[in-house]
Structure 1
């Protein structure tokens, strides 16, 4: 709704800019002095964490131009300035806020400003808005590592001066800006979904389904059924023309099937039962879904432009792994990720080797918290579960006989613990390694039943993979490791011996956290914020918003600005 309004306003304003007659020319010397004063003092620009650096960039930009304006000509804003304003007003379509780029103040100055100082302010705000918006589109508004210690994602750097020169050197800056966001299908689909959910929100969204003490199961009757059907019709799980049973309170097959579709799209158990978790998901508002989509568009702006010709992408929030080759998904698998107390971080690395029949070198924290207390109560626990003690972490470590230890008087276990290869090994029969400081990798697991659950956050931080030898076979093929066909993998597996398989070339793996995405069939899917990372990002996005009311007040106090009592800029 809001983006439609901006388009209407922008189109009307542009028509005015192209048609009105020019006011009296402004003296070049007066304008240059006003521009230099604003660049030196920062008058009329927001005070943000990057504001001082931006002022330096703007000053270098205008110094190179000998302080000639980029957006003003013969005392009035150019058509290019109008095109830029229209582009800034369309920021909501990219999940961004036009208020952060000074749209209200710019529009006010374009309609009313004619003094040298007002035009200089307009010139600076247009350049600053173009720079900030272009940078936010290209690399994201926020630096991931500054908002969440579990996001090990370096924000890509972009040359601000080069960007500004590009945006001011073309006839249509809006077209240049349109090429800056990610071109990946995932981002573009979210952009379409954002517009759809904005329209749903503008139309009133959906009414909540009333709560109840008991779950609603297929075949039951309940007065909430009309409300449930209405809710499912809004987002399309229940077709608009689906028949309603004679008893409108009856939980019929069509409504059960629609609820299962809703559950699948929200990462819930698709059992057709209206329980607590399903009710919570149904009653999240359309406005909240709009915000969730926008947050995930920001995450895609953080991703590398080039993720690799072939690469692995893990979505922790969706418990899902995809392998891509030249932009196409060639293999998918369900995964188990870190529990809420041992969250898997977000990062990218290169996978370089696999291990068949691996040892599990148990991290010290797991030894201290889990294995030692069990072994102290029952020293036979170690042997029963395939664990062995080694004297230290060196290559020359020697085995320690657990029976030789005085377990009754031990307060810790000062030895390395490893689990031998086998069916009961916690890593299963294969692990896929991409060396990193978090000791995270992909691996098999003996706990196969966990893959049947909709929510799969159970691990100590590593990523357990369903059908891992199928994943390994795909990786070996894509990396050109032709001397390791599936038959040879199977032979190595049957040997029971630890075998290292080095890839002919590394393959990038990107571990992400995406809670809103669009499937190939066009349906929008949402996932629970299992690690609280949506909340952190939303808080940081709100904190990053620029307070333009203070900027406008400062601008009115500047020499040549609007005197007290004059009409201020229109609020957003």
Structure 2
């Protein structure tokens, strides 16, 4: 027994020594300074080498390339050892044809020197080496410019607008062009380089449709001739040109006397026209309908081209789940796995307080939000109202706080220094944000929210807010996006019980939704042209800049 005890004690000491050793070793490892991780520098992938044809090839003086001051062009010809590449007639013909016919895509052939290129092509067999080199460079430079414009637009929205926040679209145009060039697949490059969205395709179809219309010489419908809105069975001289417009656009068919009488046939035609233009389809001809009727074919075509440019700015790689807002259409669609699961009417900013264009990600639902009066509304709305009536804020359940966070009595509010205070509206049914808001990262301090003016969603013109987007029936929307079958359950009863507390609660959105808050005023549907009022007056200006 003594021997067994002795061996047991020796085994115990041995085991303890091993444990001490492991503890000391772990302390040493933990205390050892962690080596900084070396992050490998990602090198730019050079474009593949260009496979030259067996036809006439000449060397290019690099000073000719330098005239264009284009790094991309320089890298392109590095891939051919500074030799001409467009010796193949079939390849040249394709490029020339694309550029010449680019009006079908809403682009301008003059931007890509179409006439100059055709002059060179006609003299191709008579060109000396320098002329051939110049022609080759011009072909490459203008075709790559054309591809860039198709992919991401001609203009940069960040240089045009301060309230357009879109992610940059990058294109390695050399790699794309050279791969297609080498594989003799130039005929697919233009199709592949363009946006893939359904709306973009609808716009291309709209351009195709409008090009089938004849030129119109219908006179303007003068609003001055209208003493009131025109209703069924009214007589008005303006109806003569109104009927001509309806016949021109195909909203009215067959023969008509083109009289000044507002008959039943014209009434039904007006309703079809109004529906296509996002107007109240009530058959009553007012200023909105007259304004839409007065657009000529050329003006509508320009509108389509401006919208094609916008859709080239937008990143069309949509996530699986997203909210897409069309500001001029006053609509919000929830799309999940390529299926539209919810549609909501919305209210957007006025022309003075525009809703910004944003691509972002939804983060948080806030129930029973407070509302802090923003600087613009403080200056333009609150201060003038407070000067007239010191109880203005109190009547709206808004509390004034000083810089120390102490509540300020309205009678002691200093109207000469309104910026020295914070103005916070308590949660509740009549809060300016309503019962909920949805937050997403952006630089404009805007969000989606409910409203205390819930009767305005039935209006036709809903450009009424101060920049944020107001949503109809928002609690149903919150229930929809918070319900994640994997981890969370948000039934209506649960949301209602939170609302009843009038306590502000933030809920993280676990299911990933992107937000595309964009602007477009034209498209097509079932071979029919669709237009919306250009509420921020952007279309004409954009078209003019595209043709500068």
Q: Structure 1 length normalisation: TM-score?
A: 0.80
Structure 1, residues 46-84: CA drift from partner, whole Å, max 9, x if none? xxxxx522xx32222212211232211xxxx52111122
Q: Which has the higher contact order (CA 8 A, sep 6+)?
A: 1
Secondary structure, counterpart of 1:490 in structure 2: helix
Q: Residue 430 of structure 1 aligns with which residue?
A: 436
Structure 2 vs 1, CA of residues 97 and 448 (structure 1 numbering), >3 Å: closer, same or farther? Answer: same
Q: Could you tell me how far apart the structure 2 residues matched to 1:479 and 1:295 are?
A: 42
Q: Residue 407 of structure 2 aligns with which residue?
A: 400
Q: Could you tell me how far apart the structure 2 residues matched to 1:536 and 1:446 are?
A: 35
Identify the match of residue 106 of structure 2 among 88, 92, 95. 95
**1:109-508 aligned within 5 A:** 109-114=120-125, 115=127, 116-200=129-213, 203-205=214-216, 207-208=218-219, 210-211=221-222, 212-214=225-227, 215-238=229-252, 240-241=253-254, 244=256, 248-392=259-403, 398-402=405-409, 405-407=411-413, 410-412=416-418, 414-477=420-483, 482-508=488-514
Q: Could you tell me how far apart the structure 1 residues matched to 2:415 and 2:332 are?
A: 46
1:68 is the counterpart of 2:74: no
Q: Could you tell me how far apart the structure 2 residues matched to 1:177 and 1:99 are?
A: 18
Secondary structure, counterpart of 1:532 in structure 2: coil
Q: Residue 97 of structure 2 aligns with which residue?
A: 86
Q: Is the 8 A contact 2:209 2:527 kept in 1?
A: no
Structure 2 vs 1, CA of residues 409 and 160 (structure 1 numbering), >3 Å: closer, same or farther? Answer: closer
CA RMSD in angstroms comes to: 2.3
Q: Is the 8 A contact 2:167 2:315 kept in 1?
A: no
Unaligned 5+ runs, structure 2 = 1-54
Structure index of larger Rg: 2
Q: Could you tell me how far apart the structure 2 residues matched to 1:446 and 1:193 are?
A: 39
Secondary structure, counterpart of 2:163 in structure 1: coil
Q: Could you tell me how far apart the structure 1 residues matched to 2:65 and 2:203 are?
A: 38
Q: Is the 8 A contact 1:376 1:407 kept in 2?
A: no
Q: Could you tell me how far apart the structure 2 residues matched to 1:86 and 1:422 are?
A: 63
Structure 1, residues 87-133: CA drift from partner, whole Å, max 9, x if none? 22221111111221122111221121332223222211221122111
Q: Is the 8 A contact 1:130 1:167 kept in 2?
A: no
**What is the deviation of 1:446?**
1.5
Q: Could you tell me how far apart the structure 2 residues matched to 1:90 and 1:487 are?
A: 59
Q: Could you tell me how far apart the structure 2 residues matched to 1:173 and 1:229 are?
A: 47
**What is the deviation of 1:362?**
1.4
Structure 2 vs 1, CA of residues 224 and 385 (structure 1 numbering), >3 Å: closer, same or farther? Answer: closer
